Amino acid sequence: MPLQDVSVKINVASPAPKIGLGRPVIFVQKTGAAEYKEYSTLAALQVDYATGTAVEAKAATIFKQDNRPDKVAVATYATDIKTSMTLFYGREWHFALVANDLAADQLAAATFISDKDFKFLVVQVRTEADRKALKVKKRTKIYDHTIADEHLDAAAVGDLGSQTVGSITWKFKSLKGVTARYLNETEINAIDADFAVAYIVKGGRGQLSEGWLADGSYIDDIHGQDWIKADMENEISYTLGNAPKIPYDARGIGAIEAAMSTTLQRGFKNGIIATLEGGLPDYTVTTLSRDEVDIQDRALRVYPGGSFSYGKSGAIHEARVTGVVNIQ
């Protein structure tokens, strides 16, 4: 019997806070058996991790942000970070950080998360070599920050990760506890070429240089996919679990269709799904009738006939305007 009765899979048509969808976990190397613990305050965390330790420094940066998450988790590993990530992957975190910023651990974690279709790894690097080692890894966000004792990765996750999914882009944002750098065009172009992100002075203020992941996709788009997946699984599960019976006929299929539409309408309201001309949401829901479902699936009480598609709202990251001066 499967542990999960409802599964939503999203296939991207073009190549290339829910509770837990903004929550970070900090992975740290520590002697002994792997452990996982959540903290609602920095003071509670400091009981286990003293001020000045790598874990405490990242957590302090997270808790400093205006839009901080409700909790910060810490997961330990003795030698292999991937073992701990596998063990605790099912816990309610969505953004993984690496406490020690060691390149080997970052690469191992990025390799692990790249094989998943849910959750993110967010890292801070200081060298071009470390950037390039992580380039093209799926679901990994690279922050290039060279200022000692600052944690741009933690600041970004702490402020942006828990905001309503779909409501923001991760470019342009100002953060607390990190210093904006003055980079020239050559330096920022090199960072851009590796799909990394810097915190730079631009337009007279500190701001994040881009909103992409290491494979060139945009984190707000992928975070939106995660939200749709999680919300739709919850909505369909609620429909199945809170009725005396969902019959395998037009009534039951209609209930599942309604649950799917509920999630997509929420996603539209949150800003994940685009608006068509006329103000309508850009999504479709399709269901197979009872007679269109294979008889074996009906015998096993499995309904595989629901599908949906949506147009992502995306975001404008550059604007180019032309003007004409009229000679009077």
Q: Which residues sit opposite 74 in a β-bridge?
A: 26, 37
Pick from 236, 238, 246, 245: nearest CA to 290: 246
* Strands (E) located in 113-195: 120-125, 140-144
Average pLDDT per consecutive 10 residues, the chain (328 residues; last block may be shorter):
61 43 96 97 97 97 95 97 97 96 97 96 97 97 97 98 95 97 97 98 96 98 96 94 95 97 97 96 98 97 97 96 92
Q: What pLDDT score was predicted for residue 15?
A: 30
- Sequence-separated (6 or more) residues with CB below 8 Å from residue 244: none
**Encoded tokens for 310:** 């949506």
Q: How many residues does the chain have?
A: 328
How would you classify the pairing of strands 205-208 and 196-202? antiparallel
Q: Which 8-state DSSP code applies to residue 176? A: S
Q: What pLDDT score was predicted for residue 328?
A: 79
Q: What pLDDT score was predicted for residue 12?
A: 43
Q: What distance in Å separates the CA atoms of residue 58 and residue 158, rounded to the nearest whole number?
A: 9
Q: What pLDDT score was predicted for residue 199?
A: 98
Q: What pLDDT score was predicted for residue 27?
A: 98
Judged by phi (left if over 0) then psi (alpha if -120 to 50, else beta), residue 271 lies in left
- Sequence-separated (6 or more) residues with CB below 8 Å from residue 38: 71, 72, 73
Q: What distance in Å separates the CA atoms of residue 161 and residue 95, rounded to the nearest whole number?
A: 8
Q: pTM of the predicted model, to two decimals?
A: 0.91
* Angle CA 316–97–29, to nearest 5: 170
Q: What pLDDT score was predicted for residue 210?
A: 98
Q: What pLDDT score was predicted for residue 65?
A: 95
Q: What CA dihedral angle connects 99, 68, 39 and 102, to 10 degrees?
A: 0
Q: What pLDDT score was predicted for residue 5?
A: 62
